[in-house]
């Protein structure tokens, strides 16, 4: 089976963009945006977050509106694509950090998500388990 990426059809923008596909002004995710116990790297531009991704990961990360299904095997970068999508959406001003929650199945995976998001400058995002 080959890896597949299926972007969803963007629906109505829940955050009030005026034009389809238009991104609001970027927000800063520098050290002031995180709490004192969560150090983050220097603020990044939205575009710089995507530079380290391969083409399929980048496609998933750039699909900011609507659902995205990422089907891939172990170790192929699914979590990387998801965390970069969250960080990119926040940096682009599409996702308010206090309105994003990353959900997973285990406490260990949630801790991994929190760490990766913090490294990307999206430390304020909640990462929790279903349980």
Residue 104 labeled ligand binder: no
| 79 annotated to bind ligand | yes
72 is in an annotated binding site: yes
pTM of full prediction above 0.75: no
Encode burial over 20-34: b for 16+ CB neighbours within 10 A, e otherwise. eeebeebbebeeebb
Residue 4 token pair? 């597949």
34 among annotated binding-site residues? no
Q: Tens digits of per-residue pLDDT, 84-105?
A: 999 999 999 999 999 999 999 9
Beta strands 101-104 and 126-129 are parallel
Q: Is 79 helix (H, G, I), strand (E, B) or coil?
A: helix
Q: Which domains does the chain have, with CATH numbers?
A: 46-129 (3.40.50.300)
Residue in the block written with tokens 């990426």: 5
Judged against a pLDDT cut of 50, whether residue 20 lies above it is answered with no
121 annotated as belonging to a binding site for a ligand: no
Q: Is 127 assigned to a binding site?
A: no
């Amino acid at each position: 089976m080959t890896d597949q990426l299926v972007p969803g059809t963007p629906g109505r923008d829940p955050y009030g963009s005026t034009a389809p596909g238009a991104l609001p002004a970027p927000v800063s995710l520098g050290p002031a945006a995180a709490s004192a116990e969560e150090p983050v790297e220097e603020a990044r531009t939205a575009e710089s977050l995507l530079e380290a991704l391969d083409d399929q990961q980048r496609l998933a990360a750039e699909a900011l509106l609507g659902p995205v299904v990422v089907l891939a095997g172990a170790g192929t970068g699914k979590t990387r694509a998801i965390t970069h999508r969250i960080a990119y959406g926040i940096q682009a001003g599409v996702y308010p950090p206090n309105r994003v929650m990353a959900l997973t199945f285990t406490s260990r995976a949630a801790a991994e998500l929190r760490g990766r998001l913090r490294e990307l400058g999206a430390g304020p995002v909640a990462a929790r388990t279903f349980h």
